[in-house]
Amino acid sequence: MRIKIEKFPQVDGDLGWLETTPGFTAPLGQRVKGAHAFDVAVIGAGFTGISLALRFAELQPSARIAVVDALRVGEGTSGRNAGFLIDLPHNLDGGKTDANYARALYRLNAFAIDRLREYKDRFAIPFWDDAGKYMSAHEEENESGLTSFVKMLSVAGFEYEQLSGRELERRLGTSYYRSAVYTPGNVLVNPAALVRGLTKALPKNVTLFENSPVSGIEYGSPHRLQFVGGSIVAPVVVQATNAFSEEFGKLSRTLAPVFTYASLTSVLTDEQIKKHFNGVRSWGTTSAHPAGSTVRFTVDKRIFVRNTLDFLPELKSTRAGLDNAWKQHRKSFEARFPFLKDMPFEYTWGGMLAMTLNHEPVFADAGDGVYTMGGCNGVGVVKGTYLGYYMADRINNIQSENLQFIQQHSSPSWVPPDPLRTIGARLRLTRESAAAGGDV
C-alpha cells in the first residue's frame, strides 16, 4: 500500500513563542538524506512523538529510533499553543464530567506534568511557571460555565477558589472580568522552549530529523518513509501527527482541524509594570465559554491573546486569515487593557486544534506495526505527553491502570465527509463564537 502525502505543515505567521526562546535559531536535528534503517520511526517531533521516543528508549535502550518532523522542533503545533499544562478537566477537552472520570483524567494529567517537570529541572528549561489557572467570565450569561466547572471540582474534591470584583482585578491587573475560578495545579510555559528543551533528553539511540517532511509512505515489511533525497525503513511506524494524521492513510473521517490564532506583545516597560501591574504576578486565564479568549500575562512581562476559530480543511492558514485574527486580537486586547492601547503586538500566528466529535483522542493500533495518535482537543501538551508515553508501553505490552483508562476512552466518533464536515463545522464555530460575546 503506497500513500502520497498531499498536505504538509507550514509556518503560519510569526511564531512568537519560538522567537522568544533563547537559541531558537540553532538546529536540533539533521535532514533526512540518503537511505536509513531503524527499528522504530516516529513521525512528528511534538510533545507526543518526543514523549513516545523517550519512553521507548527507556524500555528498549538498544532499539534504533528515528523521530522525524516536517518543520523545525518548536515550529509546529507543539510550539504554537497557549502554553497551559492543564491538570484538571478543561472546557475545551469536553466529554464526560463525572467525578470518577475527572479523577482518572487528573491522574493522567498530573503524571504528564510531573514527567515534564523532571525534564525541566534536569535540563534547566526556561519559562516554567507554577502559576495555576483562572477560568474567567466577562458576560453574565457565560458564568454558567463557571458554575458547571465548580460543580465538577466540588464533587471530585479538587481545590479551587472563586473570585470576583476588586479581588479579581487585583490579581489580574484588569477589571474586565466579572468572575473567575482559580485552580492552583496548572503550569504556564513557553511551549516552544519546552518542546525544544525536551530534545536534550533524547538518548544516543534516538536520531532526530528536522525539516524533513514525509512525501510518501509505502506500508510493508518493513515500512518505507520517503523524503526528498532520502528514505527511512522501519518495521514499526508511529504517527504522532495530530491534525495531519489522516494524510497517512490509516485514519479517516475522525478529525476536525480547527484553526485558532494568537498574538504576543513586546515586553512591557518597567514604567508600565509599575503603573498597571504593580504586585501582579504572571497569570493565565481561559474563558468560561469554549469559544472565548485565552489571555496570559507572561513571566517575561508580555501579554498573550488567543481567539478566533475557523475550520480549514486544507490544514494551513492564509494571510487574510492572519490579518482578520490580528484585528480581532486588537479589539480583545484593548477591551481588557485600555490603558495599553498603544502597545503593539510583536507576533501573530496561527495553529491547529485537532478536535474529535466526542472529545476522545485517537490512540490506535492500525495493524502490521503501525500506530497512530492524535485528536488532543485543545489540551495537547499534557495529553500528547501521556499518550506518547503509554503508546510506548502498549507497543511493548506493558499494562497499567492508566493505559487501560486511555484505551477505554479513545474511540473518537465518526465525522461526515466533506462538504458536510466543512459546512457543519463552520456553522457550529460561527454559532459558538457569537454565543461567547464579550468573552472573545
What pLDDT, on the 0 to 100 scale, is given for residue 94? 55
| DSSP-derived secondary structure letter, 211 | S
User: What is the pLDDT averaged over residues 100-117?
Assistant: 96
pLDDT tens per residue across span 117-144: 999 999 999 999 999 999 999 999 999 9
User: Per-residue pLDDT for 92 more than 60?
Assistant: no
User: Per-residue pLDDT for 93 more than 60?
Assistant: no
What pLDDT, on the 0 to 100 scale, is given for residue 95? 55
| DSSP-derived secondary structure letter, 141 | G
Q: Is 260 helix (H, G, I), strand (E, B) or coil?
A: strand
- pLDDT grade, residue 89 (50/70/90)? confident
Give every CB contact of residue 226 below 8 A, 6+ residues apart in sequence.
Answer: 214, 215, 216, 217, 218
Q: Can you list the positions of beta strands (E) in 70-183?
A: 84-85, 133-137, 161-164, 179-183
List the grid coordinates of 238: 508511529
- Percent of the chain residues topping a pLDDT of 70: 98
pLDDT, averaged across the chain? 95
pLDDT tens per residue across span 150-209: 999 999 999 999 999 999 999 999 999 999 999 999 999 999 999 999 999 999 999 999
Please answer whether residues 109 and 88 qualify as being in contact, where contact means their C-beta atoms are separated by less than 8 angstroms: yes
Q: For residue 127, give the nearest of 188, 175, 70, 76 by alpha carbon.
A: 188
pLDDT tens per residue across span 341-384: 999 999 999 999 999 999 999 999 999 999 999 999 889 999 99
What pLDDT, on the 0 to 100 scale, is given for residue 97? 63
pLDDT tens per residue across span 221-274: 999 999 999 999 999 999 999 999 999 999 999 999 999 999 999 999 999 999
Residue 193 C-beta-side C-alpha neighbours within 13 Å? 21
Lowest-confidence segment of 79-83, 88-92, 144-148, 315-319 by average pLDDT:
88-92
- pLDDT grade, residue 98 (50/70/90)? confident
User: What is the pLDDT averaged over residues 94-106?
Assistant: 80
Lowest-confidence segment of 79-83, 144-148, 396-400 by average pLDDT:
144-148
User: Per-residue pLDDT for 71 more than 90?
Assistant: yes
Please answer whether residues 28 and 192 qualify as being in contact, where contact means their C-beta atoms are separated by less than 8 angstroms: no
User: Per-residue pLDDT for 99 more than 90?
Assistant: no
